[in-house]
Amino acid sequence: MTSIAKPPVRHPSSRTNGLGLTLRDYEGAMSTLCAGCGHDSVTAALVQAAWELDLEPHRAAKMSGIGCSSKTTAYFMKQSHGFNAVHGRMPSVTSGAAAANRDLTYIGISGDGDSLSIGLGQMSHAIRRNVNMLYVLENNGVYGLTKGQFSASADIGSTSKKGEANEQAPIDPVLLALTLGATFVARSFSGDKKQLVPILKAGIAHKGFALVDVISPCVSFNDHEGSTKSYAYTREHEVEVVHADFVPLRREITVPETNEDVSVVQLHDGGSVRLRATAPDYDPTDRDSAYAHVRACQARHEIATGLLFVDETGRDMHDMMRTVPTPLIDVPFERLCPGSAALDKLMDRFR
Amino acid sequence: MGATDVSNPRYYHKVVDCQWACPAHTNVPGYLRLIAQGRYDDSYLLNRESNVFPGILGRTCDRPCEPACRRGRVEEKPVAICRLKRVAADNRGDIRDRLPKAPSKKNGKRVALVGAGPASLTVANDLLPLGYDVTIYERNAQPGGLMRVNIPAFRLPASVLDEECGYIIDMGANMRYGTPVESLKSLLAEGYDAVFVGSGAPKGKELDIPGRWDAPEQVHIGIEWLANVHFGHIDKIGERVLIIGVGNTAMDCCRTAKRVGAKDVKVVARRGRKYFKASPWELEDAEEEQVEIVENHAPKRFVVENGKLVGLEFERLQWTEDAKGKQSSTVIETVVMPCDAVILAIGQDNAFPWIERDLGVDFDAKGMPVVDKATHQSSKPDVFFGGDAAWGPENIIWAVAHGHAAAISIDLHCQGKPVAERPPEGMSLVSAKMGMHSWAYENDYDAAKRAKMQHEALEKRFSGIGIEVELGYTPEQAAREVQRCLNCDIQTHFTAPLCIECDACVDVCPTNCLTITTNSSPIDELRTRLSAPALNLAQELYVSAELPQTRRVMVKDEDVCLHCGLCAERCPTAAWDMRTFDLQLPYAGQVSR
């Protein structure tokens, strides 16, 4: 929380992107989150990613539910569409929005409470439907807005600010998404934008549901010594398993691909992701291998980060539902709403 | 890179660009905040500590602070520092009982000052309160030196000059008006413990081209002519006047000529506008009065017919620049500009015919005294130089700075201490935090544009020679203009061990000043890989000690920091704090006892 708005002044050498916009043009309202909140860094990474992608702000929709995390959507891309849904219901609302207008870029922001407790079912089914969206899960292990109770992602043995230890098993959104068939699964850290920004860009470019679990420390209630989601703990235990570089379609790749370990995944929009596994036997395109590796890291108290799994061949919601190829707004009214005679005819088929 | 040492006052001083650029290092943000609070007396007195003549300088200063002002790098125009200084002077009450006073018991040391200009008066200002017996020799009947006789009254009213010179003289200086010093030897024979030469650069430069002496009564030397107008010896000039030279004296000459009967006034310069010595605002003011500025013309010959000056022949030049940036000119054509009078304003020289060369005061080949840059001491230990007399023409604020430095030396010399051992600069650095997101300064950014100075209507200003053109800011204008100040003296102070590297400050900084990165040398390499490239090499990079979690460093590019305090407001651990920096300048007497 700050006392003033960000001054409308730019660095004299600030650059513009392909749309002629500066980074500042992708900002939103001033954050009212606590000073030092990881979520504000995620916001900054989203601003950076959208700017670098030349994302047209008016062609994006920011979706969220309830919680500290869900306030994030107010803090970037002030010229975009947005919907602040009921607690945990963001995935369903986004499914509906995406069904109606498949041409917008959907950026959903949620948290460990919104996604793993009240909205667990909602998120799971959005993954199954493979809604074409970026799903950022700002994960801090506590309910910050209600003053620091354990959330469903809190690790066994991690303590609250007062010292009480958590005894319930955590839900790991990465493992969950892998088992539910997600086609893009990543984990990153709000304190590491070098890793986070390319992942966000790849997630936006990915066709289908892109889950990015971001460890985003809560400075007020979960940044103490007993925490396993603090800045210090995350830095000590983070192991980058796969490093991802997002290469947009229009940029020519000038670096010769001499490195044997780099695998390139072509994205649906023509861009690509260059993946460099830092663990020798890791294959980010093999779901079982990814699952096993993340589990093994967990057993060693390591936090596996990076673009852990990607499958660009999956079918998204529109493919599966065989919907019209255009947004409903572009379907002529007579076709979209053919009248009561057509409805009667349809109803007759069910009699 | 090693960690930046912010305990040395120089680092934070340099961040305060205006104060750093000011020769007298006036605490500009400090006095602007006092104006914002309506505390005009306090503002005036804070200002006076370092620059001695806020009312005079608020009208006439060459303003080295304004081109340096950070606001000018953030948007188009700097804060109107100079004219805000005048606001405090114009609106102050009677502050005489708050001025320094001379003690009734003197210290027994006698000091003679040559010339009653800004340099000497500053020396007197600093030495009188210490108990020195100060005698000032002045050839004119009034104090002020060139401030009085060369700066026209329409820019600087005599009343302002009288009042501020009076503050010093009234402390008990012995004034010897109408007494030009004709021999340093006889002056020294009067047994002074020290002599300060602040006699200025009183000789205007000549232009020795053909015809110069064929009609001498129509050709004037700028500073002499201005003095003659001031004393009332000259009250008219021909209709068509050419001013040669384009410095600030030329600007005073052309505007004065307009007030004593000239109709068509041209200022003619050898080079293009980019290279003019006159301050841009003085050029604007002259052009507002329909003075024509002519570029790229070099005077060649005075055209005199039948003993009467009828014109001046010029070579029209084209300037080219070679790869090394060296300028050269070629003549395109020769033109004659008809005129009735010419005023030469091409510079000033020093003249010391009154200093005997066998006294031990060394002079160099150019006839300038050999003076130590720091101490102002000449080769004769009891003779000191300052102002234009020391190293040639500068401006008033430099003379004031010289006066302060020379006063320290004179004091040390008279107390039998080595003058080279200068008292150090100090600083205080106090947190500006007043509470949760509440600061001891207004940290919000005001997007207001620079206030426009109101001028006297053209028809009215030519009705008399002493009608002041600038009317000063209205209280409303002043209140808005002070908010444009970025408060560069409220420093962003970083405590590395507290940082948890959450990136909050980096993310919130509106001008991308901050970066957390791996350390490297040299600094030029570091400059290229910051949040925004640090291209302004004149501005420092702050490099912190190693950060606890990752051993990286916090780097701050000082260039366009708005001092908005958002880094400190967003910092969860108070690793960033906003701290009020106060430079403690040494003055005579502070540490010599």
Among chain A residues, CA nearest to B71: A9
Q: Residues B163-174: pLDDT tens digits?
A: 999 999 999 999
Distance, in Å, from the CA atom of B392 to the CA atom of B354, rounded to the nearest integer, reads 17
3-class secondary structure, A330: helix
Q: Report the residue of A1, A2, A23, A190 to disrupt the B interface, i.e. the one with the largest count of B CBs within 10 Å.
A: A2
Q: Is residue B45 domain-shared with residue B132, that is, in the same domain? A: no
Contact B572 A36 (CB under 8 A): yes
Give the predicted TM-score (pTM) of the model: 0.90
Q: Is residue B360 domain-shared with residue B314, that is, in the same domain? A: no
Distance, in Å, from the CA atom of A337 to the CA atom of A327, rounded to the nearest integer, reads 14
Looking at chain A, the whole-number percentage of residues with pLDDT higher than 90 is 81
Distance, in Å, from the CA atom of A74 to the CA atom of A80, rounded to the nearest integer, reads 10
Between the alpha carbon of residue A350 and those of residues A337, A343, A345, B6, B423, the distances in Å are 19, 11, 9, 81, 99
Residue B536: inside a domain: yes
How far away is chain A from the Cα of B319, in angstroms, using its nearest Cα? 31
Indicate whether B112 pLDDT > 90. yes
Residue A191: list chain B partners with CB under 8 A: 501-503
Distance, in Å, from the CA atom of A133 to the CA atom of A329, rounded to the nearest integer, reads 19
Q: What is the predicted pLDDT for the residue at B592?
A: 42
Looking at chain B, the whole-number percentage of residues with pLDDT higher than 90 is 87
Residue A244 makes CB contacts below 8 A (sequence gap 6+) with A186, A195, A198, A199, A202, A273, A274, A275, A276, A306, A307
Q: Residues B114-147: pLDDT tens digits?
A: 999 999 999 999 999 999 999 999 999 999 999 9
Looking at chain B, the whole-number percentage of residues with pLDDT higher than 70 is 99
Contacts for A296-304: CB closer than 8 Å, 24+ residues apart: A297/A239, A297/A241, A298/A172, A301/A237, A302/A237, A302/A238, A302/A239, A303/A187, A303/A189, A303/A215, A303/A234, A303/A237, A303/A238, A303/A239, A304/A174, A304/A187, A304/A239, A304/A241
Residue B101 makes CB contacts below 8 A (sequence gap 6+) with B129, B171
Q: Residues B536-553: pLDDT tens digits?
A: 999 999 999 999 999 999
| CA proximity to B514, closest of B68, B75, B499 | B499
> Which secondary structure element, helix H or strand E, spans residue B241, and what is its range?
strand B240-244
Indicate whether B150 pLDDT > 60. yes
- Classify the phi-psi angles of A77: left when phi > 0, otherwise alpha if psi is within -120 to 50, otherwise beta: left
Q: Give the mean model confidence (pLDDT) for residues B306-324.
A: 91
Q: Report the residue of A4, A14, A138 to disrupt the B interface, i.e. the one with the largest count of B CBs within 10 Å.
A: A4
Q: Is residue B463 domain-shared with residue B495, that is, in the same domain? A: no
Residue B424: inside a domain: no
Residue B13: inside a domain: yes
Contact B438 A3 (CB under 8 A): yes
Q: What is the predicted pLDDT for the residue at B415?
A: 94
Contact A191 B502 (CB under 8 A): yes
Spell B341-359 as b/e; 16+ CB within 10 A means b. Answer: bbbbbbbbbbebebbeeee
ipTM for this model: 0.90
| CA proximity to B87, closest of B118, B121, B57 | B57
Q: What is the predicted pLDDT for the residue at A251?
A: 54
Residue B245 makes CB contacts below 8 A (sequence gap 6+) with B222, B267, B269, B344, B345, B346, B347
Distance, in Å, from the CA atom of A142 to the CA atom of A164, rounded to the nearest integer, reads 13
Contact B51, B24 (CB under 8 A): yes
Indicate whether A254 pLDDT > 80. no
Assign A20 a pLDDT band (cuts: 50, 70, 90). very high
Q: Is residue B46 domain-shared with residue B166, that is, in the same domain? A: no
- A222 in contact with chain B, both atoms CB, cutoff 8 A: no
The fold of the A23-321 domain, in CATH, is: Rossmann fold (3.40.50)
- A235 in contact with chain B, both atoms CB, cutoff 8 A: yes
Contact A7 B510 (CB under 8 A): yes
Q: How many A/B residue pairs have CB atoms within 8 Å?
A: 103
Residue B2: inside a domain: no
Q: Is residue B292 domain-shared with residue B196, that is, in the same domain? A: no
Indicate whether A255 pLDDT > 80. no
Q: What is the predicted pLDDT for the residue at B463?
A: 85
Q: Which tokens belong to A331?
A: 């379907």
Neighbours of B450 (CB within 10 A): 18
Q: What is the predicted pLDDT for the residue at B124?
A: 98
What's the mean pLDDT when you consider all of chain A? 92
Indicate whether A11 pLDDT > 90. no
The domain ranges of chain A are 23-321
Distance, in Å, from the CA atom of B555 to the CA atom of B513, rounded to the nearest integer, reads 8
Q: Residues B397-440: pLDDT tens digits?
A: 999 999 999 999 999 999 999 999 999 999 999 999 998 889 99
* CATH number for position B507: 3.30.70.20
Distance, in Å, from the CA atom of B197 to the CA atom of B487, rounded to the nearest integer, reads 38
Torsions phi, psi of B155, nearest 5? -100, -35
Residue B514: inside a domain: yes
Residue B169: inside a domain: yes
Q: Is residue B538 domain-shared with residue B465, that is, in the same domain? A: no
Question: Which residue range is the domain that position B371 belongs to?
Answer: 99-202+350-414
Q: Is residue B31 domain-shared with residue B64, that is, in the same domain? A: yes
Q: What is the predicted pLDDT for the residue at B591?
A: 59
Tokens 């403690």, residue? B584
Distance, in Å, from the CA atom of A234 to the CA atom of A226, rounded to the nearest integer, reads 12
Residue B428: inside a domain: no
Q: Is residue B222 domain-shared with residue B339, that is, in the same domain? A: yes
Q: Is residue B376 domain-shared with residue B288, that is, in the same domain? A: no
Residue B272: inside a domain: yes
Torsions phi, psi of B378, nearest 5? -85, -175
Q: Is residue B324 domain-shared with residue B289, that is, in the same domain? A: yes
3-class secondary structure, B85: helix
Assign A282 a pLDDT band (cuts: 50, 70, 90). confident
Indicate whether B520 pLDDT > 90. no
Q: How many structural domains are present in chain B?
A: 4
Find the CB nearest B560 among A2, A11, A232.
A11
How far away is chain A from the Cα of B217, in angstroms, using its nearest Cα? 54
Indicate whether B593 pLDDT > 50. no
Q: Report the residue of B434, B442, B485, B500 to disrupt the A interface, i.e. the one with the largest count of A CBs within 10 Å.
A: B500
Q: Is residue B341 domain-shared with residue B234, that is, in the same domain? A: yes
Q: Is residue B44 domain-shared with residue B129, that is, in the same domain? A: no
Q: Give the mean model confidence (pLDDT) for residues B375-387.
A: 96
What's the mean pLDDT when you consider all of chain B? 94
Tokens 């190829």, residue? A325
Residue A3: list chain B partners with CB under 8 A: 437-438, 443-444, 569
Angle separating helix axes B40-51 and B396-414, nearest 10 degrees = 70
Residue B550: list chain A partners with CB under 8 A: 235
Q: Residues B22-40: pLDDT tens digits?
A: 999 999 999 999 999 999 9
Q: Residues A222-234: pLDDT tens digits?
A: 999 999 999 999 9
Between the alpha carbon of residue B141 and those of residues B37, B133, B179, B247, the distances in Å are 40, 21, 9, 28
3-class secondary structure, A158: coil
Looking at chain A, the whole-number percentage of residues with pLDDT higher than 70 is 96
Tokens 């292990």, residue? A141
State in Å, rounded, how far the first CA of chain A is from the last one. Answer: 60
Assign B250 a pLDDT band (cuts: 50, 70, 90). very high
Contact A2 B73 (CB under 8 A): no
Count CA atoms within 13 Å of residue B6 on its CB side: 20
Indicate whether A271 pLDDT > 90. no
Q: Alpha helix (H) ranges present in B245-359?
A: 248-259, 280-288
Find the CB nearest A11 among B508, B532, B549.
B532
* CATH number for position B48: 1.10.1060
Q: Residues A75-95: pLDDT tens digits?
A: 999 999 999 999 999 999 999
Distance, in Å, from the CA atom of B359 to the CA atom of B362, rounded to the nearest integer, reads 8
Q: Give the mean model confidence (pLDDT) for residues B39-44.
A: 96
Q: Give the mean model confidence (pLDDT) for residues A33-38.
A: 95
Contact B443 A12 (CB under 8 A): no
Q: What is the predicted pLDDT for the residue at A259?
A: 54
